[in-house]
Structure 1
């Protein structure tokens, strides 16, 4: 039964995702009841996505790291620079919007990307490696992007 449900959801994911988003936007009082379960849902999706990868597959990603390195460069150099440029173009002189745009596009790769990669039979070990490495590097990459692109300093209590 779960296999049939999963096949249905995968087939209609491009429709289900916007419907869920709109439900949350238009009916926040109903949607807020699901908030406590979000962490568990993402943990489950990561676990299921990881089940499709063997340790050897993940190790192979690091034997040929060029795709992983290129993805990190695109995600943490190119995309934040484009966001910063668009911020200056669309909101000239508004440091808060520009900083927000850079911050939004500097965050680590979302776990949800692993779900999409799994649905469309992409490279799950590469996606899993990206999510893990990106999450580990985030405390360094986000402040660096903000410092370089908008001149903001971010202080983090790393020991806490």
Structure 2
């Protein structure tokens, strides 16, 4: 259906409302996940496919030359690798040691978050704040492909612990969430000579935001049994989790400014450096470390997307949907 039709206009209006209120909708998603865990936990098996819809929504607007342009200009990628893979994990480790002293398990939990690959959900925030979707997808692909080597190396170097990643599981999730949707989206755009995003874009774009809220609900529902509000440790670790999350976004913002990149690339670096796969970090914490090491990742799952929405407003300026 043409983008100028009445249904498309309604869908575009819904998308503008969703973009404007994402800082409110993300904590609502957290609350719903806590209140209705039995319902939303059933959606967990579908999360990779839901992420695929989110990726397809943005990839539909890309062409082969957009991806090629990203590969031909690797400086933003270099800045990302320096900040996300070296600077941020080391900063978190040092500050964690300063804040928590001999509490090695909690320090390990924070390091696991920032050793984990960049989050696929960052792609949605990049589209909301009009970033560079080709760069964002490229960074997600590269970082996830490097994860089986980079994550164990970071953990071994900073924490002295040997871990092994499930390379098959990582590859399969990457295919579902990023590779296949990107190929489909770019192919449809190219084959339709730009008609596909005009026809399907008005409907897929708001759907991607709704998918984001569903993923938040499902992820929070999966960790509700580990949330203990009356525990003082919960609040202390939670406060540090928020601090480190904000710090990650600050580093991402500085990377874009120091590189003197255009706004689109700055947005992509901002979210690629600031957001991490907290679910993967939680899995590693449970499998290779004592129980307390998983708490920072659990709290990261709860807080991360809300912080992403707020930090976007603070550091990236007014959401274009508000203009």
- In 2, the alpha carbon distance for the partners of 1:158 and 1:111 equals 17
1:33 paired residue number: 42
Q: 1:27 and 1:83 mapped to 2: Cα distance?
A: 33
Give the paired residue count. Answer: 160
Counterpart check, 1:89 vs 2:98? yes
Task: Say which of 94, 102, 122 aligns to 1:113.
Answer: 122
Question: Aligned-pair distance for 1:15?
Answer: 1.1
**Which structure is higher in RCO with an 8 Å CA cutoff and minimum separation 6?**
2
Residue by residue over 1:8-48, the C-alpha shift from the partner in whole angstroms, topping out at 9 and shown as x without a partner, is 21121111111101221344234323323322211111121
Distance between the aligned counterparts of 2:16 and 2:80, measured in 1?
29
Task: Quote the Cα distance in structure 1 between the aligned partners of 2:45 and 2:26.
Answer: 19
In 1, Cα distance between equivalents of 2:167 and 2:104:
26
1:146 equivalent to 2:166? Answer no
**Residue pairs, 1:98-137, within 5 angstroms:** 98-137=107-146
| Match of residue 6, structure 1, among 11, 15, 33 | 15
Could you tell me how far apart the structure 1 residues matched to 2:90 and 2:158 are?
A: 7
Residue 115 of structure 2 aligns to a residue whose secondary structure is coil
Q: Deviations over 1:37-74 (max 9, x none)?
A: 32221111112122222111111111110111111221
Distance 1:54 1:68 in 2: 19
**TM-score, with structure 1 as normaliser:** 0.90
Gap regions ≥5 residues in structure 2: 1-9, 170-323
- Tell me the equivalent position of 1:77: 86
Question: What whole-Å deviation, never above 9, does each CA across 1:62-111 have from its counterpart, x for those lacking one?
Answer: 11101111112211111111111122112212222111111111111111
